[in-house]
Structure 1
């Protein structure tokens, strides 16, 4: 059940991140004013990524493919399990760190353009990192 929640909620989280990055890029390139709507889009993307992390941590420590694999297998012997047991969680945490930094930095900017720029940069890095370490075959049911 937690695995399904983590998998299905990921679609929503990715959608929110894509919307937040696109909104920030549009705001940055068009010199748009940073409004309450822009703040909410960025905030919801931040909140949902953190919720996904929380569900992922629970899954990691309760699933046979998470901590158990990592703690009982040498890294060189992991093969395909390395993505789930090591790369996906570490890169996911790193991505959420970037997203959190972007949220924190955007609040300190004096102009809307710079605020949009911080969101676009840091949320964009987070999105790319997440996309790079998704277990695509498992997630899309290809294996």
Structure 2
């Protein structure tokens, strides 16, 4: 079960990262072209929103099932080892913060207002979230 959830977490990560990049570019183009923010634009942003939240949920399940997560944090050994600290603390914490920022961007864009501000809300918050996610991916474990 643990291995299956690990593979699911890695697979959804590709989809979520791709969706975030596509939505950021799409919203940036929408903002620069001064077009109206439509229901279609909101639904496109919703795809990346949902995928990132599913990724977070699967990651949290994996964290509590994993021998690497809570156990390393409770033993105190994680803080002295940079790789262990990344997996036990930095990766989950930074990704939770990133998902909160993505959520803020999406929620702000749902409120009525100027189209350009709605586009900007999504592409800026999603981009900050994407940078935070990319900064804390355990690349050595992911690409292995």
For normalisation by structure 1, the TM-score amounts to 0.93
Aligned CA-pair RMSD: 1.2
Gaps of 5+ in 2: none
Instruction: Determine the structure 2 residue equivalent to 1:14.
Output: 17
Corresponding position of 1:84: 87
- Post-superposition offset of 1:75: 4.4
- Structure 1 position 59 matched with structure 2 position 69: no
Aligned counterparts of 2:9 and 2:116: Cα–Cα separation in 1? 34
> How far does residue 30 in structure 1 lie from its aligned partner after superposition?
1.1
Shift of 1:109: 4.3
Post-superposition offset of 1:101: 0.4
1:101 maps to which residue? 104
- Cross-structure match for 1:132: 135
| Matched position secondary structure for 1:126 | helix
Give unpaired runs (5+ residues) of structure 1.
Answer: none
Paired positions, count: 141
Contact (CA 8 Å) 1:2, 1:55: kept in 2 or not? yes
Q: TM-score under structure 2 normalisation? A: 0.93
